Structure 1
């Protein structure tokens, strides 16, 4: 029998120890296989994510909303402060000498010299050329362009950017391609960030080892050794935390980028992605946007020095920003220039020349949205046409009808006018800014319906309620012209109206309207009743033609009226939106056609191709003759009626319009127009408190201040006489056709051809030729 030899504990331990290396090797191999498998799966995941990302839009480009262009032409009067403010907003910098670069200008009493920016839109191609504008008494005398042998007929200034429609990332960028960039820009970026970019495969080993040593020493990710491809990987695909796992992801994405794309494509993506700083809450991304932001020029126009400034910003945008510290920025620029020279991209002579140049950034203006009430109105229209994702991501260019000079003047006139009212009557001031006296200003082109200005309240930062389109207020006497229009088929300007006190029964209840002035004449002509805004004559006129006829006209002008007409409607007790009232007055200035209010002119895609175009949409409501007749009647409102104080306010050109005041002076209106502009002003409290003023004392001065600030829209011309209108001498006493030499008081009147008085004056019949002669002598020598 064999005895089994026992193994000692020592021998057993030795066996396990001998087996351990093999176990570790197998475990290591297994771990490596699992890691490789997981890495491969993660690479597949990253590849699919990258393919999906690149299959769509690479970046969200906010849509830009532009104003209309500004025209200057010989004979045009200018408002220098408004024009200079506009040029400043457009980024034109005053210089002491002759402008020699895009964006420079020089202004004096005798000339405006300007070097235009280059600009392209579907309807406006502006070359970057110098232009000389001759001035005399701030009126344009001539325009000379450097690209023309002869004097140009006009000058078009590019539109202003009013707003950018941002997505959640709040990023601004203008995409560029490598073909658009001069070599010195790419050389500057490469010198500053990755001079061996074209020689490595996405990773620069020495840089990584140097950064790794520092990071391990400090036991955190504090230093990068990132190439341009790595920067693109982390900025475009990854979140900003600094961890080792994120660094591992960055290396994987870097490898994929280098595998899938050539070097020029990677560099182009990097130049469009890289961060250059902030403008308030909005980040400036990409070399294209940075060029505009810091130097107010296209990237293709950057000088070597300017390219070096931008390249130097990439390392630390806030630290080296020329807007923050020009000395530090200059030092960093010089370092970049030296690196360009070291890499053979800049000669020694050019290095010294560029280092000697001072850094001259464009002025930091900050982002301030213009015309905020109009922008809200426009946004509601845009979101009915396009999704918010399209507006915030596809980089549309939206060209509007807004004239920024008119808008600026309107905002200033309203602010000044409301402050003036509060100063003259302290009872109008309110402690709570949200309850302050409010106002509206709307300016439209009558023939096109273009909205040139919209001010929907006193202060957008306090109240975003847009009274121009959201408020419904009683127009008061500003509605009366539509009553008189309804009567033109039956009445003439010389028809006499009953203006005596009366009581009317309305739904079984007595209603006794009153005139503003109790001592009004008991009988008054049609013309004078409108000019003097007589309530009793207007109500009697409405009854004379029938309230249904008044309702019919109101509906034709797109006013909301009840099914059952009521007599006080003739005095403007219905409710209207201010924009609807301004639009209705356009009919009188536009030969009888009602325009659709236009805020959008064109919408273009990122390639500048038009995808939406809006043109004037009009609806004929009345004949040109009736429109002219109403304008002529409303000229008397300004000449001799409730708006006659316009003369004292400095308005000395032809104007037609109508004041309006509601019960207890809750609303004050003036809607006035010339052949080129219809301008509406409303003043009131949101809670309907009395403003203790009339349209003539509250709204009219604001209208006058605004129009005096817009000499480019003012002329002595009036509406041409259309077919269907006849002028005739009538007897001022009888209203009948004047008998030559017989009627002592004769004046010229306008009539619709079909209802011109044919009857000769029966009140003054001359019995002999001698009496005619005698009456003629008395007209020439009244005291004879």
Structure 2
């Protein structure tokens, strides 16, 4: 009987280590270095504006909206590229920087005046000097990874706000810097909560497990997938630093849809939802994106603004409790609009 038990234990050990070795190889092969290809970006022809051009104010405004420019009340409120204000036929624009190939234009302010269906004035607002020609950044027609129809703007950890990484850890994985891919305390806590509620109401996936699930596995909720997820998370923790894992998570995580394209990563999400780089996000904007991690569709501000607002403010409360932001900043952030 003892020999049978010993053989079973040995067989189990061989299977365990064989299974672990398999996933270790898979992680090393697919995750080593930068695991993302560069996206293909397809732009429309840029809008070239010059004095005398036939152009109506409504058509120009339609073009600006297609380019993702945000309309603000007055020229004084134009603090970020990708915004504009309109008074009749007078437009104040804060143009985005863009590399046209033959010319790289920086972010800049211009004033454009349209009278009787034609451009009557084109000035630089920095010195109000006349301009002969202005090229606006073209409409992005498509940006995707051909193999997966995903979109992404890659960012390194040192390009991201410190507040973002701390908020992600506070909301998604408080023990991120102390566990080895699997948080046993969180698992037992989730089991107790689920037993108490008599339903599956709380998960226990670490950031590393979420990364493994997003990068390697399907989203089906099966025991086999959870086991595979645990092995992969352990392999990731074995070969990569916490900062490398966190950076990969920020670039990989799913944060919504733009038509048929999946929006992955905080870099693209910042541009998609707020029209600004990730480094410029304010506390309420960071809270909104982090809140979407729980359910990108359920807490999408454009689809479910009421739910998104409640979730954002919940995240802001946690940020204040963790002393990541002050109470004054918290209250001001909660009063801010969603987008």
In structure 2, C-alpha distance between the alignment counterparts of 1:213 and 1:320, rounded to whole Å:
27
Structure 2 residue corresponding to 1:279, chosen from 258, 280, 283: 258
In structure 2, C-alpha distance between the alignment counterparts of 1:163 and 1:356, rounded to whole Å:
34
**Which residue of 1 is the match for residue 139 of structure 2?**
160
Report deviation, 1:269: 0.8
**Which residue of 2 is the match for residue 34 of structure 1?**
11
Report deviation, 1:278: 2.4
SS at match of 2:177: helix
- Determine if the alignment matches structure 1 residue 46 to structure 2 residue 23: yes
What do you get for the CA RMSD once the two structures are aligned?
2.7
Report deviation, 1:229: 0.8
In structure 2, C-alpha distance between the alignment counterparts of 1:246 and 1:225, rounded to whole Å:
14
In structure 1, C-alpha distance between the alignment counterparts of 2:70 and 2:246, rounded to whole Å:
33
**Which residue of 2 is the match for residue 601 of structure 1?**
none
**Which residue of 1 is the match for residue 166 of structure 2?**
187
- Could you report, residue by residue, the CA deviation over 1:282-311 in whole angstroms, capped at 9, with x for unpaired residues? 322111222222222222222211111010
Aligned length: 337
SS at match of 2:138: coil
- Could you report, residue by residue, the CA deviation over 1:63-118 in whole angstroms, capped at 9, with x for unpaired residues? 11112222223343423333222111001232332242333212344521112223
The higher radius of gyration belongs to: 1
1:215–1:238 Cα change, 3 Å: farther
Determine if contact 1:73/1:143 at 8 Å carries over to the other structure. yes
**Which residue of 2 is the match for residue 300 of structure 1?**
279
**Which residue of 1 is the match for residue 66 of structure 2?**
89
**Which residue of 2 is the match for residue 580 of structure 1?**
none
Determine if contact 2:299/2:311 at 8 Å carries over to the other structure. yes
1:245–1:160 Cα change, 3 Å: same
The equivalences for 1:759-778 within 5 A come to none
- Could you report, residue by residue, the CA deviation over 1:323-376 in whole angstroms, capped at 9, with x for unpaired residues? 12212111111111111122221112211111121212xxxxxxxxxxxxxxxx
Compute the TM-score of the two structures, normalised by the length of structure 1.
0.40
In structure 2, C-alpha distance between the alignment counterparts of 1:152 and 1:318, rounded to whole Å:
44
Structure 1 residue corresponding to 2:309, chosen from 327, 330, 342: 330
Report deviation, 1:150: 3.9
- Could you report, residue by residue, the CA deviation over 1:124-165 in whole angstroms, capped at 9, with x for unpaired residues? 433333221234434334433344574444322001112345
- Determine if the alignment matches structure 1 residue 67 to structure 2 residue 67: no
- Could you report, residue by residue, the CA deviation over 1:222-278 in whole angstroms, capped at 9, with x for unpaired residues? 642011111111221122222223222222211111111111110111111111122
Unaligned runs of 5+ in 2: none
Determine if contact 1:70/1:159 at 8 Å carries over to the other structure. yes
In structure 2, C-alpha distance between the alignment counterparts of 1:301 and 1:292, rounded to whole Å:
10
SS at match of 2:220: coil
Structure 2 residue corresponding to 1:209, chosen from 184, 188, 198: 188
Unaligned runs of 5+ in 1: 1-22, 361-784
The equivalences for 1:223-242 within 5 A come to 223-242=202-221
Determine if contact 2:56/2:114 at 8 Å carries over to the other structure. no
1:56–1:193 Cα change, 3 Å: closer
**Which residue of 1 is the match for residue 242 of structure 2?**
263
SS at match of 2:55: coil
**Which residue of 2 is the match for residue 684 of structure 1?**
none
Determine if contact 1:119/1:158 at 8 Å carries over to the other structure. yes
**Which residue of 2 is the match for residue 722 of structure 1?**
none
In structure 2, C-alpha distance between the alignment counterparts of 1:344 and 1:267, rounded to whole Å:
21
**Which residue of 1 is the match for residue 297 of structure 2?**
318
Report deviation, 1:60: 5.0
SS at match of 1:197: coil
Determine if contact 1:109/1:138 at 8 Å carries over to the other structure. no
1:57–1:265 Cα change, 3 Å: closer
In structure 1, C-alpha distance between the alignment counterparts of 2:32 and 2:179, rounded to whole Å:
26
In structure 2, C-alpha distance between the alignment counterparts of 1:347 and 1:218, rounded to whole Å:
34
Report deviation, 1:28: 3.7
Compute the TM-score of the two structures, normalised by the length of structure 2.
0.88
